């Protein structure tokens, strides 16, 4: 129970931010927190809270597994001259890697996108 107290702010934020499938299990002096965040921004905020509580992540008393709900996403049709970085700049809080990760089923190389291709943009 002490670990749940230590990470209370993180758990509360996850609960109040719309994260689903939240699981908090304390076992062998390790707190396992798993959830699905509604957006990449919420996922990043959860990680930011974790880093504030344990800045160097040296405590080794928590395993945090946060995924992003891929059903909450936009699509983007690639235009001539686009690359993942240019596309990411059009969306606040999204990196080219976020777009690449959300489209690994369509992309074998982040540098190989083509006009007309429809990409999923996690929001």
Residue 35's SS3 state is: strand
Tokens of 83: 């690359």
Q: Does domain 2-68 have CATH number 3.40.47.10?
A: no
Q: Is the dihedral of CA 30, 35, 39, 40 positive or negative?
A: positive
Q: Which pLDDT value is given to residue 12?
A: 96
Place of tokens 């291709």: 117
Task: Quote the pTM value.
Answer: 0.60
Q: Are strands 30-37 and 62-68 parallel, antiparallel or unpaired?
A: parallel
Fold of 73-122: Membrane-bound Lytic Murein Transglycosylase D; Chain A (3.10.350)
Largest CA distance in the chain: 55
Which part of the chain has CATH 3.10.350.10? 73-122
pLDDT single digits (tens) 12-48: 999 998 899 999 999 999 999 999 988 777 888 999 9
Distance separating the N- and C-terminal Cα atoms of the chain: 34
Which part of the chain has CATH 3.30.460.10? 2-68
């Amino acid at each position: 129970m002490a670990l749940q107290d230590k990470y209370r702010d993180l758990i509360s934020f996850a609960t109040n931010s719309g994260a689903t499938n939240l699981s908090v299990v304390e076992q062998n002096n390790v707190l396992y927190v798993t959830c699905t965040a509604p957006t990449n921004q919420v996922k990043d905020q959860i990680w930011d809270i974790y880093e504030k509580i344990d800045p160097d992540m040296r405590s080794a008393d928590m395993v945090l597994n946060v995924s992003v709900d891929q059903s909450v996403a936009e699509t983007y049709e690639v235009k001539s001259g686009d690359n993942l970085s240019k596309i990411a700049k059009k969306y606040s809080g999204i990196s080219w890697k976020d777009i690449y990760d959300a489209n690994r089923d369509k992309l074998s190389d982040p540098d190989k996108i083509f006009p007309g291709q429809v990409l999923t943009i996690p929001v």
